[in-house]
Amino acid sequence: MPACAGLGGRWGEEGKENAMAAPLTPVQERLLAYLRRRLAEEGRTPSLREAAADLGVSHAAVARTLRALAAKGWLRREGRYGRTIALLRAAPPGAGRGREVPVVGRIAAGLPLYAQPEWEGCLVVDAAVFRGERLFALRVRGDSMRGAGILDGDLVVCEPRQYAENGEIVAALVRGEEATVKRFFLRPGHIELRPENPAHPVQRYGFGEVLVQGRVVGLVRPPAAAQPPREEEAR
């Protein structure tokens, strides 16, 4: 599995040189370590107000340091008002009990999801909870699995596997290109991918059209999808 990276693929020599040319200040290192710890312990990033209170600095100082970390390629801010934070570089060895799971970005046809050459970023999860090897994450689009508690924008964490038991929620490649998260059922003559929302139809495919890529073992809900941002976070 390739190392976690930001948009555009793996780190090359140029990225390493840029990192050495722009070292982190103590203030930036402190905020980055804090973000990693909060993500590992709670599966979410704090608001600017929470970070400012925890670190004993001003709201403006946190925002300024986040911009600096983003400019140096250590994180990416996304979602409404940029509250969702994706960490784009590996944590140093021994940096807490979190582990980084790559988030699948653009899909390269013909390759399994856990071996994709490009990642959207990294998701930090609790290593005590997510213990499998070669885990990967997939961002959910749409509400077809709402009945199973999987909402639009959620990140599902998957354990690589090329088979499934009937009724399991899996990540699958359809016709080698489209990734989907559905309940799997093997039927006589076809494979059934069943949503958990009556507004969406059951999907049926030939045996050669669906490749199971992994079993969903958990999810992380970005805070921007879980609740509306506070008023001060819009500034």
Residue 80 sits in the same domain as residue 102 = no
Query: CA-to-CA distance for 126 and 99, rounded, in angstroms?
Result: 6
Q: Which of 90, 121, 151 is the last residue of a domain?
A: 90
Query: Which domain CATH number covers 83?
Result: 1.10.10.10
Express each pLDDT in 126-167 by its tens digit: 777 777 888 888 888 888 998 988 888 888 888 888 899 999
Q: Is 72 a catalytic residue?
A: no
- The lowest-confidence range among 92-96, 110-114, 209-213 is 92-96
pTM, to two decimals: 0.56
Which residues are CB-contacts of 51 (< 8 A; sequence separation ≥ 6)?
31, 34, 35, 62
pLDDT in tens, 80-95: 555 567 776 655 544 4
Boundaries of domain holding 19:
13-90
Q: For residue 174, is pLDDT > 80?
A: yes
Number of structural domains found in the chain? 2
Q: Which CATH number characterizes residue 193's domain?
A: 2.10.109.10
132 in a domain, yes or no? yes
Instruction: Look at residue 38 and tell me if it is in a domain.
Output: yes
Q: Which of 16, 47, 72, 144 is catalytic?
A: 144
Residue 172 and residue 82 in one domain: no
Same domain, 81 and 119: no
Answer yes or no: is 229 within a domain: no
Quick check: 182 pLDDT over 70?
yes
C-alpha to C-alpha distance for 147 and 27, rounded to whole angstroms: 43
47 carries an active-site annotation: no
